Amino acid sequence: MSTTRRDLLTAALTAAGAAAASDLAGGEEHDHHDNHDHQVVPSDPTLRVKALESLMVAKGLVDRATLDAVIDMFEHKVGPHIGARVVARAWADGTYKERLLKDARAALAELGYGYVSEGELVVVENTPKVHNLVVCTLCSCYPWSVLGLPPLWYKSAAYRARSVIDPRGVLREFGLELSEDTEVRVWDSTAYQRYLVLPQRPTGTGSMKEEELATLVTRDAMVGVARVTAGRRGSER
Ligand code: FE
């Protein structure tokens, strides 16, 4: 954001705050003493969000209770634990896996999960010969219904550009070295079609129950930048 835009937002919020203070004081000038801590001006994205929220509430386009519900959903309800449960079921039940690959939305509904998004979700399966990697080269489209909010690196210009130019190099930087005879398929997400990787089930997990299998499945593995391993749980960045 340019300095000018930041200054505009800061000024707008400061003016809004001053107006509110004036209202509280019955319209009289606020008697200002410098004996309290001044709040540090928030970051650019925070300022932008606050400005947008204030405008939308003021214009009656949304209400605060709805906004709180949306924030609560992203903070507490959706997340990679949902994708992990879906993956674990697919590992444990071959017929479920077939249904998942064919119609992900219906397969999610079987487990009681909604795919609350415009467009479709496509599940792509890793095999010993094929490794799938998901990116959104345009912006940051991501299957948040099953993975929650995307990590910062997913939205970075470097990941978005380099994943399609040099996927093996990007995967190497994530610590995933693929053999030359493994085909890498890169899937470019859009608002209309997003992707979830079904990772390979790690060896040595034959006796594990579905709930335990789910604890092994990481967000990174479901984006395709990591494998699932039997001994490591939830390693993310
Ligand atoms: Fe996008």
Contacts of 122 (CB under 8 A, 6+ apart): 104, 187, 193, 194, 195, 196
E strands within the chain? 120-125, 130-135, 183-188, 193-198
Per-residue pLDDT of 164-206, as tens digits, reads 999 999 999 999 999 999 999 999 999 999 999 999 999 999 9
Active site residue 163: no
Phi and psi torsions of 205, nearest 5°: -115, 15
Beta bridge partners of 122: 195
Residue whose C-alpha is closest to residue 219's, from 231, 233, 203: 233
Beta bridge partners of 184: 131
Active site residue 136: yes
Of 22, 43, 54, 139, the catalytic one is 139
CA 155 / ligand 1 centre spacing (Å): 9
* Range 79-223 classified under CATH 3.40.50.2000: no
> Looking at residues 117-136, what average pLDDT do you find?
94
Active site residue 22: no
> Among 25-39, 42-56, 61-75, which is the least confidently predicted range?
25-39
Backbone Cα Rg of the chain:
23
Q: Is the pLDDT of residue 115 over 60?
A: yes
Alpha-carbon distance of 61 to 68, in angstroms, equals 14
Q: Using 50, 70 and 90 to split pLDDT, how confident is the model at 27?
A: very low
Active site residue 141: yes
CA 74 / ligand 1 centre spacing (Å): 18
